Structure 1
Amino acid sequence: MKSPVDHSSPKPAIPEWITETTNGGTARQVDLYTGINGWAFPPGDGFSVRSADYFTNKQKCPGGDYLLSLAGVDWLKSTTKLDNILARPDNRVAHALRKAQSLGRSQNGFIFAVNFHIPVKEHYHSVLYFVTEEPIPSESLLKQFIDGDDSYRNQRFKIVSQVLRGPWIVKAAAGQFGAFLVAKTVRCTYHKGPNYFEIDIDTGSWRILAALVRLLFGYARSLILDIGFVVEAQEVDELPERLIGAVRLCHMDVTSAFVVDPQPLKPYRMMGSLEAKPPRRD
């Protein structure tokens, strides 16, 4: 007996610049459930967001599909704070998109980056890259957020998170930050370019969050942490909420950070790039 013919449409090929972003970083994509020292793509239904009836009954619903795709993560270290990372000529993700567009490809390609600045003994940065090949709908909350002013953005950008595995002290401390509007208490700066949008979050600017981040930093190898991002719906016609994107960080080794020069020097050494990282000396 012949096997049934699959008439479903083939999935579109992933553009080369996105594949390069995913596979070319020193922070590796790992298995969602068993991965060590890397990042993974968690299911959206693991998060709760405001449902279509939220303002009536305060009910939340599973997050569902993401608006953007997680393409990669950079774990960086520098002697100074790194802002507007996507504008740097040595940013590997922005470079990959520029290269594709110079060849006439991915003209609608867009990068949405969240850059967590973690000031401990040195300046660490966890940079999450979300991408799309499709124009962001003009009527969407995400488009309004990207095109809005800082006052609007500060009132809307929300982080939803959960510690899936880790010591009870970390879970207890992180519980109060399950869902919160970041910029109401934390210094955030926004950078918009022709094909990107970046949010820089200074975790050291609020004492309480800084203490939590130091705790997470110390227990990083023991943790599995899911972090998602939402433009908060504040009107009925903006419901239900949609997740911009999310990441799972799995048992991270903080000593594996890629060292970045404060000022990029030619020839550029692409930050976070697997090819650019010098061999480890034991």
Structure 2
Amino acid sequence: MSASPFGHFIFLPTEIRLLIWENLVKEGSLAILRTSQAIYHDIADRLYDTFDIHLFPTFEDPWIEIRCKLLRVKWVIGRRDYNKFSNLARVPYDKVKLVAHIYAPDPDDCGQFILLWEKISKLTQMLCTIDDSRKYRDRGNPHYKYWSEPMYEGSHQFGSTPEAVISMVIRLRKYNGVDWIRNGQVNSTFCNNGLGYDFNEVLLPFCRLSRVRRFGIISETEEMAVAADWAFANYATAFIVTEGFVTFNNAVYSQNPEHGDIARTFDGIAGLLKHRDDFFNLWVDYRFLQVPGRTLSLMSREQQIYRIDTLTHRA
């Protein structure tokens, strides 16, 4: 009798095998995938299906939480979990569907939007480097260049973009009773500072992505779906799948006179994103600003503690 490709695992019921796989994956131990083709497919066909990425606007919630749809597995990634982010960059994204659940920030607590911006920016930074991830060996060093300097513009050269692999859907979700719309008006936390609607602003970091095969945006509530103007979001979707950030702004709507203002915005998308990054960093750095809500104060305090710890370890 020939040996089973599952080895001794063949004697276990499927349910027990799944419990073992789930525990191994939770611990981050994927070496078992290399033991046999049968075991690889038993795990990978479930693991590499759909990742639900949850991005919360509140300081107390996980910084980023990722749940696997077909295995009862979730990973919680902290703000400075550099190893976990680097490992995430090694996922075979051609096999995985990504669903990013972005929960509505409270416009009365402006720090919630800034925190959300930070999380989305870090996620997109990781996705921008998926094809280069194995070049970064010093993953244990929090000051390594991969994490201290953005890697957007230099990721690909014109005309040599690798095959598209990323499939992503953005779900705009309610959170703690807060929606992206209030009293029939779409929320704009920083409207007094010249920024647009919150749901449009959170899409901007995704515009840095390349290698995107499919991209979509879904509103959780019918009220939001009806009341919001989706022209900007539709343009952003087309811009992302045509790799406008690393090539040029040639989205399907770019020649339509009705989208002239939006097209000009995307012509200068790199500068716009830098402005947003600088703007939000300034709000976190200037802790003495009197702003509504408590999130910004918590973010500033956490950043101050981190800087003190960093200086202490360097001394």
TM-score by length of 1: 0.28
Rg comparison, structure with higher value = 2
Higher helix share: 2
TM-score relative to the length of structure 2: 0.26
Higher RCO structure, 1 or 2 (CA under 8 Å, sep 6+):
1
